Structure 1
Amino acid sequence: MTDGAAPDSAASNRPNLVLVHCHDLGQHLGCYGADVDTPNIDRIAADGARLANSFCSAPQCSPSRSSMMTGYYPHENGVMGLAHMGWALGDEWETLPKRLRKAGYETALLGFQHEVPDDPERLGYEYVDSGTKRALDLVDVVDDFFAERADADEPFFVSVGIEEPHRPFRREYLSDGTYDAYDPDEVPLDDFPYLPDAPGVREDVADLRSVISEVLDPAVGRYRESLADHGLAEETVFVFTTDHGLAMPRAKGTCYDPGIETALLVHQPGVVEGGAVHDALVTNVDFAPTMLDLLGVDPPTDVSGESFAPLLRGEPHDGRDRVFAEMTWHDRYNPIRVVRTERYKYVRNFSVLPRVFVPMDVAPTASGREVHEEFHVPQRPTEELYDLAADPAESENLASDKKPFEAAAEASDPEPDHADALNRLRDELESWMEATDDPLLDGPVPYPDVA
């Protein structure tokens, strides 16, 4: 909540913050081991730090972004669904740009945001240019912004919101008119063990990789070049991240790792060691406190997130031993709560859906239809437990002796060797829900009144 604090007089000595965030990327980058050509984004990891175990609070756009901006889980800040469908962040919430404005920063939004349906100034941005959200079209917008602030006295925070690689993957506006970086017949599917090897899946993977390598990656490279060309790079924290996992079946809209894993790269010259890889568990609920800490602004102590800036600076840091994630509403009611440790993932499904959930932008695609056919089952289990060390694809549900996705018509028994982990994580999830006043504890969460 806002507290009306006066601007910080020390702001002129603080670094700028450039936040570049895209849609639906997960960790599908070369620097994360994916088979895709992303030299420009990989260079951020080489120059700065890569968070290898970065996760989001929700596998969908608005809820996840609300956590990034506030430091609270979606069920705490009220954004339990999409902003254009009634789940907007209220004006009373303290956001990262609001906090930075009070610390003496100029705040700007270029491109996309999805925490409110309109008027992004409500989020704390003084300057807004939302004329385009396409990565390549934003190149000139970003360059003009940096050029105008090359000699500014006050530091700035600019949020650069990119549409790609949101579906549809095919981008007909590519400058040379081609879109054939990857051949569907030849593209490997090793990065997608949760998808069937089928023609529609292969076409989707080829198009996804093309839009990442031909559109997203070169645009991000141009943003960094522009920052350097205007003499701002050495005094700027540059962050690249995404909202949630890939827009693929059993990824986006699910709390399996492909749905909640996120790329997070941080470069701060002279502070963050180049080429550092951090394996600690982090969540984007921690994002706002961490950014404030890096900038020398006292992070809030009354939010659910916590700063991991000491980790980035190479200082001692007692990090998290678990992260939480959630899903409530997307295009349908789909309440899920999750706790993930380094080894285990515990999933609690609060409603019974007739099949694997696939969000509305994925379901009509060829891969969406093929996964529906592959996993069309009458019921999914109430509880799921996965041993991520032995089963990173989350295919063997240890909370039940039923086969994956098999109808649970009768009660089933957990794997005995993992019963203790199941009981412990079940209790921890319930404790977290109670501590954060999760409305699911009181029953189904209704759709917001948007009349």
Structure 2
Amino acid sequence: MVSPNIVLVHCHDLGTYAGCYGAAVDTPNIDALADDGVRFDRHFVTAPQCSPSRSSLMTGRHPHQNGMLGLAHGNWELGPDERLLPELLAEAGYETHLFGLQHLTEYPDRLGYDRIHSDEPLTADAPPSVHETARARDVADDVAGMLEAGDHDDPFFASVGFFELHRVEENGGFGFEGDRYETPDPDAVEPLEFLPDRPGIRSDIAEMQGMLGAIDDGVGRICEAVDEAGLTEDTLVVFTTEHGLAMPRAKGTCFDAGIEGALLMRQPGVLESGRVVDDLVSNVDVFATLLEVAGASMPDPNRLAGRSFAPLLRDGESAYESRDRLFAGMTWHDRYNPIRAIRTERWKYIRNFWHLPAVYMTTDIYASEAGREVQEEYYGEQRAYEELYDLEADPLEQENLADDEPDDPAVEAVRDRLRDELLDWMAETDDPLLEGPVLPNDWETVHPRREDDREATRN
């Protein structure tokens, strides 16, 4: 089988906020990508924050395994022995390209790309001048230019990072640059089902939809360029994001709204059009899947947290053993916020390891219009150390069933079982939280891998 080109398009803070996932938004190009390929309806990420989640996508391992326990611009780095997706694809004969944002390291040369199509390392908290080179429409034009010029060898891998939907600091708070994008009337938008319907929240939703239009245009431009270059059937186009919306009860939390992520894959003539997969999958699995599709060597399976779901792409459920659970968590963001969670088909169990308000909000959310609307409500009490939600009866995760003595013995049994499974997983994966509080950069080594180190690893 000929290895396909792979174009991995990823954006910030989107969750599943697209028309093809049932959101009341206009995303014709993203929806067309879903119609032409495979849509994963229950794709979750390992962390409700940027760098740690992206580290799982690029290593197939959880953040506490690969060292990315916080944000890249907060001096966290991947461990020196981590094998990254572009490196492994390069070893399989791929020419590898980085367009736009990456937010994995302050030292992008260590990522293993053959070509980096930007002048500066792009992270979410880089100066605004750097953000300008990672806007979706501009980055998409750069990718299209490469394809139109034939400026690549086959097969190629392109990582394409869009800055949107990330909040920016403006007007004494954080918003979505409503003056920059075409923004609908706040009174006309649909509220988010997991938040109250209030003016400040509506205002943020409207601005967010303006940014979303840029992402959709970028996706459309790239798909069009692939088609015009005659590479449609030879190219796997993947679209995803790193975590949920930058809104209260989403980003920075392990509620589904924080760890859900869009995942669409298109390769006409190879993948069935309009296919919908409802199996539980994690972004650690995307890593293994892309390696299998590319015919690349897999790292030591004993080190991997993910496994390939390639059979699901080929309508091969009989050859695939579905996950019955997946794991997520976070450790550091703009403050210490250690959480670990386990999600099954029906249940979500969350273990909180620190004293924080009932709903933690990252700084950009806390200082937003939406955040100001709910600060009093969410910061009025301390969150429980244990949370349990019945996702069938309570999909918005509003009623915590993990009381010290639940009224229902069956619920108590579920809580105890999931608690044990979560702790067993933490032990199996050498989670440093089991040893006590994790200090900033408290990992074996935190430094960029030098080029000669990378070459030695390849050889």
TM-score, normalised by the number of residues in structure 2:
0.88
Structure with bigger helix share is: 2
Higher alpha-carbon deviation: 293-302 or 105-114? 293-302
* In structure 2, distance between residues paired with 1:414 and 1:433: 28
Structure 2 residue matching 1:397: 3-state secondary structure: coil
1:102 matches 2:91: yes
* In structure 2, distance between residues paired with 1:348 and 1:130: 40
**1:199-241, CA deviations, whole angstroms, 9 ceiling, x for partnerless residues?**
10110111112221x2110121011101111112210010000
Aligned-residue offset at 1:269: 2.3
Aligned-residue offset at 1:355: 4.0
Aligned-residue offset at 1:299: 3.0
1:430 matches 2:423: yes
**1:29–1:36 Cα contact (<8 Å) kept:** yes
**Aligned equivalent of 2:125:** none
**Aligned equivalent of 2:127:** none
* In structure 2, distance between residues paired with 1:364 and 1:415: 40
**1:398–1:415 Cα contact (<8 Å) kept:** no
**Aligned equivalent of 1:170:** 177
**1:287-317, CA deviations, whole angstroms, 9 ceiling, x for partnerless residues?**
1110011222243323111000111111121
Identity, in percent, stands at 54
**1:112-143, CA deviations, whole angstroms, 9 ceiling, x for partnerless residues?**
0011113x121111100125110011132111
Higher alpha-carbon deviation: 304-313 or 266-275? 266-275
Question: Which 5+ residue runs of structure 2 have no aligned equivalent?
Answer: 120-132, 168-174, 448-459
**1:48–1:268 Cα contact (<8 Å) kept:** yes
**Aligned equivalent of 2:112:** 124
**1:70–1:93 Cα contact (<8 Å) kept:** yes
- Taking the TM superposition and a 5 Å limit, the aligned residue runs for 1:16-415 are 16-118=5-107, 120-131=108-119, 132-149=133-150, 153-167=153-167, 168-174=175-181, 179-180=182-183, 182-189=184-191, 192-212=192-212, 214-300=213-299, 301-302=301-302, 303-315=304-316, 316-400=319-403, 413=406, 415=408
* In structure 1, distance between residues paired with 2:374 and 2:118: 35
**2:69–2:330 Cα contact (<8 Å) kept:** yes
* In structure 1, distance between residues paired with 2:294 and 2:187: 47
**1:355–1:372 Cα contact (<8 Å) kept:** no
Structure 2 residue matching 1:89: 3-state secondary structure: coil
**2:3–2:293 Cα contact (<8 Å) kept:** no
**1:1-57, CA deviations, whole angstroms, 9 ceiling, x for partnerless residues?**
xxxxxxxxx9xx311000000000000010000110101001111111000000000
Structure 1 residue matching 2:137: 3-state secondary structure: coil
* In structure 2, distance between residues paired with 1:210 and 1:313: 35
**1:365-416, CA deviations, whole angstroms, 9 ceiling, x for partnerless residues?**
111111211222231101000000000000000112xxxxxxxxxx554643
Structure 2 residue matching 1:224: 3-state secondary structure: helix
**1:399–1:415 Cα contact (<8 Å) kept:** no
* In structure 2, distance between residues paired with 1:268 and 1:219: 18
* In structure 1, distance between residues paired with 2:357 and 2:50: 24
**1:384–1:398 Cα contact (<8 Å) kept:** yes
Structure 1 counterpart of 2:10, one-letter code: H
**2:45–2:53 Cα contact (<8 Å) kept:** yes
Higher alpha-carbon deviation: 39-48 or 365-374? 365-374
TM-score, normalised by the number of residues in structure 1:
0.90
**2:59–2:82 Cα contact (<8 Å) kept:** yes
**1:299–1:307 Cα contact (<8 Å) kept:** no
Structure 2 counterpart of 1:239, one-letter code: V
Aligned-residue offset at 1:417: 3.6
Structure 2 counterpart of 1:195, one-letter code: L
Structure 2 residue matching 1:185: 3-state secondary structure: helix
Aligned-residue offset at 1:433: 0.3
**2:7–2:235 Cα contact (<8 Å) kept:** yes
Structure 2 counterpart of 1:100, one-letter code: L
Question: Which 5+ residue runs of structure 1 have no aligned equivalent?
Answer: 1-9, 401-410
Summarize the Cα distance change of 1:331–1:72 in structure 2 as closer, same or farther, 3 Å threshold.
same
Structure 1 residue matching 2:41: 3-state secondary structure: strand
* In structure 1, distance between residues paired with 2:383 and 2:377: 14
Structure 1 counterpart of 2:236, one-letter code: V
Alignment coverage as a number of residue pairs: 420
Aligned-residue offset at 1:333: 0.3
**Aligned equivalent of 1:4:** none
